[in-house]
């Protein structure tokens, strides 16, 4: 079954195209990651899915409801955790959750039980009476997620959820998200720029400059490249690239001072390259394809070569 269906979604800020006719589906009960660099379109997509931005062109359905015409129905069924803090810093963690519950019509024992459960799951029980402004960034992030999950949403939207979390807290967060998926069937959508976080998702959509450049499981996306990936550093990479093409019939990809080659049995090519150009190669590394290699193969540039224009 489909949790989210996006058809030919386009959104522009003036002349800048933030989303450029993207189409995809998210299945119910999966953790779906939207991976991309700053300015790629992640935040704009997140705002459209959470009903914060009007649809300019295309169609979006969330849990069977058209976002353009039934936004109130969508909001009742989703939980949202924004990248920017939404907690009242002058209240305690528990007070924030109580007020959030009241907004959704929860009260009494039902609300109290929900609060206790979310506090326990996110490791906040011992900090529930602490003022939010006294908590670390990681603890505040956990409280944000507890707030977004209080009303038992069918779909949880998380915008860069690991922001401010140390490695241990990040691990605990993902353990909770996997538990939500497996035990409650909650669909989770995560925007991220972290490769290690994207690897934990059931499926991924890679966004770059407003376009959906790849869609699939992490394993499927890596398999599209196949073979091995060689990264070669050289003082004159453009000249070395030309010589490699002449000698081996291979066209390396040039990125700054480095060359990238995707090749089956890469260890054999590595040996041949070092033997052929010992004085021109300063270093060479060999590895299996990563999600960053997928991004490079799909876009022709590195993940962090965006100009940082961002989505305003």
Binning pLDDT at 50, 70 and 90, where does residue 1 land? confident
Query: Are 181 and 144 part of one and the same domain?
Result: yes
Q: What is the rounded average pLDDT of the residues 237-257?
A: 91
pLDDT band at residue 14 using 50, 70 and 90 as cut-offs: very high
Same domain, 261 and 150: no
Q: Tokens 């002058």 belong to which residue?
A: 90
Encode pLDDT of 105-122 as tens digits.
999 999 999 999 999 988
pLDDT of res. 158: 95
pLDDT at 305: 62
Same-domain status, 142 and 198: yes
Whether 129 and 109 map to the same domain: the answer is yes
In a domain? residue 26:
yes
**Are the beta carbons of 237 and 259 closer than 8 angstroms?**
yes
H-type alpha helices, the chain: 42-49, 71-77, 93-103, 108-121, 137-149, 167-179, 195-198, 218-225, 237-248, 266-276, 291-299
Domain, as residue range, for 255: 227-288
Chain centroid to Cα 199, Å, comes to: 10
Residue 206's CATH number:
3.40.50.300
Q: Which CATH number fits the domain that encloses residue 241?
A: 3.30.70.260
Segment 214-226 mean pLDDT: 91
pTM of the model: 0.82
């Amino acid at each position: 079954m489909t949790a989210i269906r996006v058809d030919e979604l386009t959104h522009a800020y003036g002349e800048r195209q933030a989303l450029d006719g993207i189409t995809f589906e998210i299945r119910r009960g999966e953790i779906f990651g939207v991976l991309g660099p700053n300015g790629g379109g992640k935040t704009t997509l997140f705002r459209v899915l959470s009903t914060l931005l009007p649809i300019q062109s295309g169609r979006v359905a969330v849990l069977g409801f058209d976002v353009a015409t039934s936004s109130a129905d969508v909001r009742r069924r989703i939980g949202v955790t924004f990248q920017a803090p939404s907690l009242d810093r002058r209240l305690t963690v528990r007070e924030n959750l109580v007020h959030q519950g009241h907004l959704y019509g929860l009260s009494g024992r039902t609300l109290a039980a929900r609060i206790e459960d979310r506090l326990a799951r996110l490791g906040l029980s011992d900090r529930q009476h602490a003022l939010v402004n006294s908590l670390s960034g990681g603890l505040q992030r956990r409280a944000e997620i507890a707030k977004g999950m209080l009303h038992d949403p069918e779909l949880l939207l998380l915008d860069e959820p690991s922001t401010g979390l140390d490695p241990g807290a990040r691990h605990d967060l993902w353990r909770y998200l996997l538990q939500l998926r497996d035990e409650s069937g909650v669909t989770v959508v995560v925007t991220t720029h972290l490769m290690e976080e994207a690897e934990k998702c059931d499926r991924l959509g890679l966004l770059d400059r407003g376009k959906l450049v790849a869609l699939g499981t992490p394993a499927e996306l890596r398999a599209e490249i196949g073979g091995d990936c060689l990264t070669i550093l050289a003082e004159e990479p453009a000249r070395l690239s030309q010589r490699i093409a002449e000698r081996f019939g291979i066209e390396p990809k040039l990125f700054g001072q480095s060359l990238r080659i995707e090749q089956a049995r890469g260890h054999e090519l590595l040996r041949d390259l070092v033997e052929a150009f010992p004085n021109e190669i300063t270093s060479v590394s060999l590895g299996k394809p990563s999600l960053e290699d997928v991004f490079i193969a799909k876009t022709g540039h590195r993940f962090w070569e965006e100009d940082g224009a961002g989505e305003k």
